[in-house]
């Protein structure tokens, strides 16, 4: 089997083949889909891959050199150029710590349009899985209260939504008064507000590894020291966590407790209890990201339920199940932390938009969201079965039991290199290096079960794997 050819260049277009090829690479470099230091294909490999002459590839690379996007290294090839911050700094000021991974690659890709495919590397449900009539109805009914658009919202968030969230959390075993809930512009902002409220630059933070690149990059940009804890099928490796706590005295542990990203695993009850005992003994706050709550069994152990929000923070949102663009998230907090988080929210956003918050409240109150989630779970179960079969047929294996939205797939070769090849075929993938606190080669990739059901993608993966063994 041979590696399939990438999306062909237009031979009758207005731009020359060299211009088209240069533009293709330039777009990826600027979007950081090709990160600094990444090696471009050799001239010979580029010519073969794109079905052009070596002269065309050389001309394309020359254009990238002229634009300052790549550099030529003697006898090694062409590499994406490191971009340097030209902003003047005081000589005595410390240099900013770089993000451990270029997490913006996948983020930027979320806003790109063009090929119309459902990308395996994406983190959201397909648009046609969302209930558009439900969204329209909820917004229309919320908008009937015209005062919502004429006034700033409440600092803590729409009271009606916070009451509905308290009822929802009670269903999960989490006891939270509406006064302990603060809304945010998505779960990501809720995580950021809590981090800023609890941490100072230089503090150590425990994180899952593998874990979510955006969280790694966000904490690093805040000046925190990341302490990766290996993620097992039952939860964090507690022996490693104990050693890290003894050596570094971290202030915070951030984890996805249920349907972990990227492995899909959930905390076992035994590990959850031990983790909370460890947190109590060492004055550690545990931030529980429950972003995938609506896709998970309601009985899955929540740390906030076991701890009663004493030293846990429970964070979630609705982008994964309802509407990515509404940006409605929240944090359920220990009572002593509420005002600190509200103050930070006021300084960053003043208030969150009341209209989408009230629409989410309606979806919760009337059971619309619950019924929608039940339908999505049925779809996801079927999609997961199909994707697993396709992946295994392509010679891949799952490094963790397939659960939830994401699969952690072992391809058997470097998935960073594969990601660049897949881009040439029009597929966005999420290579394993994105999910480690420090970049390293990985044969793993994360796939979204809902967007990985196209046999063409898995044939492309199989072709690429076969080409590596020739």
Separation between Cα atoms, residue 32 and residue 119, nearest integer Å: 17
Q: Say if residues 98 and 226 touch (Cβ distance below 8 Å).
A: no
Q: Say if residues 64 and 26 touch (Cβ distance below 8 Å).
A: yes
More confident residue, 115 or 185: 185
100 has pLDDT over 50:
no
pLDDT of residue 160: 96
pLDDT exceeding 90 applies to what percent of the chain? 59
Residue 409's H or E segment, with its range, is strand 406-410
pLDDT of residue 109: 55
Of the chain, the end-to-end C-alpha distance in Å amounts to 9
The pair of structure tokens assigned to 410 is 């072992």
Separation between Cα atoms, residue 470 and residue 460, nearest integer Å: 16
- Kindly report, residue by residue over 157-174, the tens digit of the pLDDT: 999 999 999 999 999 999
Highest mean pLDDT (candidates 38-47, 87-96, 387-396, 423-432): 387-396
pLDDT of residue 39: 87
Cα dihedral across residues 235, 241, 245, 250: positive or negative: negative
pLDDT of residue 102: 54
pLDDT of residue 88: 39
Separation between Cα atoms, residue 306 and residue 292, nearest integer Å: 19
pLDDT of residue 105: 57
Strands (E), 237-323: 252-255, 285-289, 312-317
Residues sharing a CB contact under 8 Å with residue 208, sequence separation 6 or more, in sequence order:
228, 229, 231, 236, 254, 255, 256, 260
- Kindly report, residue by residue over 237-285, the tens digit of the pLDDT: 999 999 999 999 999 999 999 999 999 999 999 999 999 999 999 999 9
27 half-sphere exposure, CB direction, 13 A CA radius: 12
* Closest-CA residue to 37 (of 75, 66, 76, 67): 76
pLDDT of residue 107: 57
pLDDT of residue 292: 95
* Closest-CA residue to 231 (of 444, 452, 449): 444
Domains of the chain, each with CATH number or no CATH: 1-95 (1.10.10.10), 118-128+371-469 (3.90.1150.10), 132-370 (3.40.640.10)
pLDDT of residue 86: 39
- Kindly report, residue by residue over 103-155, the tens digit of the pLDDT: 555 555 555 544 445 689 888 899 899 999 999 999 899 988 877 777 788 99
Residue 70's H or E segment, with its range, is strand 70-73
> DSSP string covering 94-117, please?
PPPPPPSS-THHHHHHTT--SS--
Strands (E), 347-405: 397-398
35 has pLDDT over 80:
no
The answer to whether the bond into 262 is cis (omega within 30° of 0) is yes
60 has pLDDT over 80:
yes
Q: What is the mean pLDDT of residues 211-231?
A: 91
């Amino acid at each position: 089997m041979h590696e399939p050819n990438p999306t062909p260049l237009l031979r009758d277009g207005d731009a020359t083949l060299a211009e088209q090829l240069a533009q293709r690479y330039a777009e990826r470099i600027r979007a950081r889909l090709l990160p600094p230091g990444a090696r471009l294909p050799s001239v010979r490999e580029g010519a073969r891959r794109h079905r052009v002459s070596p002269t065309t590839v050389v001309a394309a690379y020359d254009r990238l050199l002229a634009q300052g996007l790549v550099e030529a290294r003697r006898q090694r090839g062409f590499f994406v150029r490191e971009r340097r911050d030209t902003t003047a700094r005081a000589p005595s000021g410390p240099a900013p710590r770089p993000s451990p991974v270029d997490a913006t690659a996948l983020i930027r890709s979320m806003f790109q349009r063009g090929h119309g495919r459902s990308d395996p590397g994406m983190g959201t449900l397909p648009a046609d899985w969302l209930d558009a009539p439900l969204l329209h109805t909820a917004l229309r009914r919320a908008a009937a209260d015209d005062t919502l658009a004429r006034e700033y919202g409440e600092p803590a968030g729409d009271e009606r939504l916070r009451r509905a969230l308290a009822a929802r959390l009670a269903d999960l075993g989490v006891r939270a008064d509406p006064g302990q809930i603060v809304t945010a512009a998505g779960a990501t902002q809720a995580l950021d507000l809590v981090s800023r409220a609890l941490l100072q630059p230089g503090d150590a933070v425990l994180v899952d590894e593998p874990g979510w690149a955006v969280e790694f990059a966000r904490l690093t940009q805040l000046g925190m020291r990341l302490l990766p804890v290996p993620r097992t099928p039952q939860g964090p490796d507690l022996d490693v966590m104990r050693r890290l706590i003894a050596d570094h005295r971290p202030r915070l542990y951030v984890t996805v407790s249920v349907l972990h990203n990227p492995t899909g695993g959930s905390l076992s009850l035994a590990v959850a209890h031990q983790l909370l005992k460890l947190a109590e003994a060492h004055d550690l706050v545990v931030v529980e990201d429950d972003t995938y709550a609506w896709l998970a069994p309601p009985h899955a152990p929540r740390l906030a339920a076991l701890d009663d929000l004493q030293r846990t923070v429970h964070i979630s949102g609705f982008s994964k199940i309802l509407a990515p663009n509404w940006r409605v998230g929240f944090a359920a907090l220990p009572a002593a932390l509420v005002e600190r988080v509200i103050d930070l929210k006021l300084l960053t956003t003043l208030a969150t938009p009341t209209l989408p918050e009230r629409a989410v409240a309606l979806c919760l109150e009337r059971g619309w969201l619950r019924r929608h989630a039940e339908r999505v779970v049925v779809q996801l179960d079927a999609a997961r079965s199909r994707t697993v079969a396709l992946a295994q047929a392509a010679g891949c294996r799952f490094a963790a039991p397939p659960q939830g939205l994401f699969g952690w797939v072992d391809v058997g070769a470097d998935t960073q290199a594969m990601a660049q090849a897949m881009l040439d075929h029009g597929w966005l993938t999420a290579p394993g290096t994105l999910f480690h606190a420090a970049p390293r080669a990985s044969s793993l990739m994360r796939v979204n079960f809902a967007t990985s059901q196209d046999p063409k993608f898995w044939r492309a993966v199989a072709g690429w794997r076969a080409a590596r063994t020739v």
